[in-house]
Chains A and B, each alone.
Chain A
Amino acid sequence: MSDVPYTTVIGLEVHVQLATQSKLFCRCSTQFGAEPNTQTCPVCIGMPGSLPVMNRRAFELSLKTAVALNCNIPEFTKWDRKQYYYPDLPKGYQISQFDLPMSADGYLEISDPKDKFEPKRIGIIRAHLEEDAGKSVHDEAHGKADSEIDLNRTGTPLLEIVSQPDMRSSAEARAFLDELKLLLTYIAVSDCNMQEGSLRVDANVNLHLEKDGKKIATPIVEIKNMNSFRAVERALEYEAPRQYREWQETGRQLGEAPKQTRGWDDVAGVTRGQRSKEESSDYRYFPDPDLAPVITSAAEVEAVRESLGELPDDLRTRLTEGYNLSPYDADVLVNQGRAVIDYYLAVAGESGDPKLACNWVTQQVLRELKEREQAIDAFGISATKLAGLITAVNDGLLPSTRAPEAFQLMLAQGCDITAALAELKIERVDESALVELVKELLAANPKTVADIQGGKLQAAASLIGQAKKKNPNVDPNRVRELAIELATAGN
Chain B
Amino acid sequence: MSIVDRPASELRKSLASGELTSVELTQACLDRIVAHDQSIGAFLRVDGERALEQAKSVDKRRAAGEKLGPLAGIPVAVKDVLCDSQAITTCASRMLAEFRPPYDSTVVARLKQADAVLLGRTNMDEFAMGGSTENSAFQPTRNPWDTTRTPGGSSGGSAAAVAARFAPLAIGTDTGGSIRQPAGLCGIVGMKPTYGRVSRYGLVAFASSLDQVGPFATTTEDAALLLEAVAGHDPRDSTSINRPTPAYTESINKPLAGLKLGIVPEHFGAGLDPEVSTAVKSAIEVYKSLGAEVKEVALPHGKYGVAAYYVIAPSEASSNLARYDGVHYGFRADQSSALADLAAERQAFVAAGNAAAADNVDSPLVRMYRSTREAGFGPEVKRRIMLGAYALSAGYYDAYYLKALKVRRLIRRDFDEAFKQVDLIVGPVTAGPAFKLGEMVDDPLAMYLVDLYTVSANLAGIPAISLPCGMTKAGLPIGLQLQGPPLEEDRLLRGARMFEAATDWHTKQPTLAGAK
Interface residues, chain A, with chain B CB atoms under 8 Å away: 42, 45-54, 81, 83, 85, 87, 90-93, 149, 282, 284-286, 289-292
Contacts and interface: CB of A to CB of B under 8 A. Distances in A.
B394 interface: yes
A143 to B, nearest CB: 14
B279 to A, nearest CB: 36
Contacts of A54: 238
A91 B318 CA distance: 12
B205 A49 contact: yes
Interface string B93-104: 000100101110
A48 B319 contact: no
A402 to B, nearest CB: 66
Contacts of A51: 200-201, 236-239
B96 A48 contact: yes
Nearest to A283: B394
Interface in B377-410: 389, 392-394, 397, 401
B323 A289 contact: no
A81 B238 contact: no
A286 B201 contact: no
Q: Most chain-A Cβ atoms within 10 A of its Cβ — which of B91, B103, B328, B401? A: B328
A286 to B, nearest CB: 5
A290 B208 contact: yes
B34 interface: no
Contacts of B105: 49
A45 B328 CA distance: 9
B202 A286 contact: no
Contacts of B393: 282, 284
A53 B236 contact: yes
A286 B392 contact: yes
A53 B238 contact: yes
A92 B322 contact: yes
B360 to A, nearest CB: 8
6 contacts: A48-B96, A49-B89, A49-B101, A93-B322, A282-B393, A289-B208
Nearest to A147: B365
A284 B392 contact: yes
Contacts of B319: 81, 83, 92-93, 284, 286
Interface of B: 82-83, 89, 91, 96, 99, 101-103, 105, 200-205, 207-209, 235-239, 315-316, 318-319, 321-323, 325, 327-329, 365-366, 369, 389, 392-394, 397, 401
A427 to B, nearest CB: 70
Contacts of B315: 286
A286 B328 contact: no
Contacts of B389: 284
Contacts of B201: 49-51
Given A49-B202, A93-B322, A42 B102 contact: yes
Given A42-B102, A49-B89, A87-B365, 8 more contacts: A49-B82, A49-B200, A51-B236, A83-B322, A83-B392, A85-B325, A92-B323, A290-B238
A291 B238 contact: yes
B202 A50 contact: yes
A26 to B, nearest CB: 9
Nearest to A90: B328
A430 B353 CA distance: 100
B404 to A, nearest CB: 11
Contact of B323 (A90, A286, A290): A90
A149 B329 contact: no
Contacts of B369: 85
A285 B396 CA distance: 12
A47 B329 contact: yes
B327 A87 contact: yes
Nearest to B322: A92
Given A92-B319, A292-B239, A49 B204 contact: yes
B322 A290 contact: no
Contacts of A81: 319
Contacts of A85: 322, 325, 366, 369
A286 B101 contact: no
A285 B205 CA distance: 18
Given A49-B205, A85-B325, A90-B328, A292 B238 contact: yes
Nearest to B196: A292
A289 B320 CA distance: 10
Contacts of B394: 282, 284
A90 B102 contact: no
A289 B209 contact: yes
B100 to A, nearest CB: 11
Given A48-B101, A49-B201, A291-B238, A286 B322 contact: no
B130 to A, nearest CB: 18
Contacts of B102: 42, 47
B325 A48 contact: no
Nearest to B370: A85
A53 B201 CA distance: 11
Contacts of A52: 238
Contacts of A286: 315-316, 319, 392, 397, 401
A92 B388 CA distance: 14
Contacts of A285: 392
Contacts of A47: 101-103, 329
A437 to B, nearest CB: 82
A349 to B, nearest CB: 47
Given A48-B99, A53-B235, A289 B316 contact: yes
A359 B325 CA distance: 62
A54 B201 CA distance: 14
A45 B325 CA distance: 13
Contacts of A48: 83, 89, 91, 96, 99, 101, 204-205, 323
A54 B239 CA distance: 11
A92 B238 contact: no
Nearest to B369: A85
A343 B347 CA distance: 69
A85 B363 CA distance: 13
A290 B234 CA distance: 13
A310 B393 CA distance: 46
A378 to B, nearest CB: 41
Contacts of B91: 48
A90 B328 CA distance: 7
B331 to A, nearest CB: 12
A81 B316 CA distance: 10
A46 B321 CA distance: 11
Contacts of A149: 327-328
Nearest to A282: B394
Contacts of B327: 87, 90, 149
Contacts of A284: 318-319, 389, 392-394, 397
Nearest to A84: B322
B90 to A, nearest CB: 10
Contacts of A290: 205, 208, 238-239
A187 to B, nearest CB: 27
B421 to A, nearest CB: 30
Contacts of B325: 85, 87, 92
A47 B204 CA distance: 9
A94 to B, nearest CB: 11
